[in-house]
Amino acid sequence: MADANFEEILKAVRSLAPEERVRLRKWLAEDERNGRSQHELGAAQSAPRRQREMRWLSQHEARYAGQWIALDGDRLLCHGPDARKVYAEAHAAGVKVPFVAYAEDPNDFQWGGWL
């Protein structure tokens, strides 16, 4: 079944008895809740690396204020005014999922409360 495609699996699911469909639905929901999906596992594994990027950003953000920056860990890949170009350049440098963020100006005060 490892080589089965979506259509084959869908056909097999449609042939299940109603109580087996309920069992499958419960298993899928539990699997999602437990974070066993590949997406969630990947995000959990990348968390320490993103901490390095956030630390770099807090230390160097003012220098690149008003620009988009791309990081890989604590390594600056590129920066510029266009987020898409920055992402594309970082991706072209061989980083599959670069950390891209907009560098805020620390002197630019923004307040969202009531007066």
At residue 2, the pLDDT reads 54
Q: Are 12 and 54 in the same domain?
A: no
Which range marks the domain in which residue 4 is found? 1-34
Distance CA 45, CA 56 (A): 19
Q: What is the pTM of this model?
A: 0.54
Whether residues 96 and 64 share a domain: the answer is yes
The amino acid present at 52, given as its one-letter code, is R
**Domain assignment of residue 72, yes or no:** yes
SS3 content of the chain, % helix, strand, coil (to 5): 55, 15, 35
- Any domain includes 111: no
Q: Which of the four pLDDT bands, split at 50, 70 and 90, describes residue 31? A: confident
Q: Please, which pLDDT band fits residue 104 given cuts at 50, 70 and 90? A: confident
Question: What pLDDT is stored for residue 47 in this prediction?
Answer: 60
3-state secondary structure of 112: coil
pLDDT digits (tens, 9 = 90+) for 62-102: 999 999 999 998 899 999 999 999 999 999 999 988 999 99
The Cα 41–Cα 34 span in angstroms is: 10
* Span of 15-19, 34-38, 57-61, 73-77 with lowest mean pLDDT: 34-38
pLDDT band for 114, please (50, 70, 90 cuts): low
**Is 115 within a domain?**
no
- Say how many domains are in the chain: 2
Q: Is 9 within a domain?
A: yes
Say whether both 53 and 98 belong to one domain. Answer: yes
Distance (Å, whole) CA 27 – CA 20: 10
Q: Look at residue 91 and tell me if it is in a domain.
A: yes
17 within domain boundaries: yes
